[in-house]
Structure 1
Amino acid sequence: MLVVGFPVGQLQANCYVLAPHEGGECVVVDPGQDAVETAREQLDNHGLTPVGVLLTHGHFDHVFSAGELCESYGIPAWVHPADRYMLSDPGAALGPEGRQLFDGVSVKVPGDLRELSGDTVLNLAGMEFDVRPAPGHTGGSVLFGTTTEEGGRLLLTGDTLFAGAIGRTDLPGGDHERMLETLRGEILPRPDETAVLPGHGTTTTIGRERAGNPFLRGLGTSDDAAN
């Protein structure tokens, strides 16, 4: 599998291009601020044709270029319904002070915007993505899981899990208790070898985070909590 990641925008959010191989179809995940030019360069370099845009959540640093990219290639985007409003009103999830940053800013929303609800499986560009709700950072945060042809596991976590940290929960739509439940139920049960492609920072693995992430140590899984 081909995985190309690159940081974009002022907040250096990670945008990813995933494809089974070069010279075919692909998906783009989280095209944030100023992502279009670099995304096009990567697509051209690898001979790729995008068939869809996947959004881990609705914050502007992950979705800002989604509308332009979708329009350029005539492709749909997928987002959880709880975060859909942020695509047309990016300041809504930043609080009163943050909202001022977007006064007078025109945002292009994908013309074909499709909803992710509940547990979903998407088959795109010859890849299967297991979509799991992951509320906490936002109400509509999701995880995208997939496997390589060699059997490796990949998990795109957006701002739910980083190397050594987790996403903040103090912005509108955030909920710390729901974040903890997501970490227990959706992150900790996964195999240690699962590669984590986060929304910011460097890649990591579930095993590395289970052992060293201070926000995961001592949490236990949802099964442990029930016993």
Structure 2
Amino acid sequence: MGTARPRTHQNRSILPALLTAVALILLFWRGRSQPPPNIDNPEIIADENTLAMSSDQDTDDDITKYLKVTARAVDDGSSGGGGGLKLALAVANTHPTDAVTVLTWDSPLDPLAVQLGVLTLTRTRTPKAEADTSSSKTEAGEEKEEQILIPTIQVRRKMPPGPESLVAIGAGQTREQVVELREPMVPVGKLKLRGERVRVVCKGLWRGVWRGERESVEGDKGELLGAKGEFESEAVVVGF
């Protein structure tokens, strides 16, 4: 009667199969225990490429960088004598393809631009040379800039802005309006009496700018929804 041999070889062949089965069971239950992705929260499913694209898009949405503001004196012969001085305030859209719509409030295209303080006026004064009796020398005075203070007003706007407050500017086009510097806002009489020259700068904040024609944004024209940004023109020197 012979002795039975241990089934070592058979046990070794069964062990890998058992380990594989246990691993599959663990993976199955682990997958069922995780909650499904929340599609209502885009941050959970957004990858790095998606976030980078969103960042680039936000930067491109700064449509105000395509707006260029300029100011120039207008001589139409109607502001002579005791009248004021007329200025043309212009806004150019430098975007190569897209139109923009501008909310005119507090902008160069606002009919109340002067009264709202959109213009900054500065005059340059050169004091006359004074004799130094102690040294018998005459020294020329240094130029001094002095800002002309313009009394401003406050306006209560009705929301939402009406279509008359929205101006569309096509790609490569310019819109402008003519304003007048006159009494009592500006001391025109004194400036003319002295023959002074004044440096004018048009600057302020855009209250709302949209990409597209006016009709495309009229349904979404809340003031807080438009792009914001600063504007400032180059200085123009005018004579009184």
Higher relative contact order (CA 8 A, sep 6+): 2
TM-score, with length taken from structure 1: 0.22
TM-score, with length taken from structure 2: 0.21
Structure with larger Rg: 2
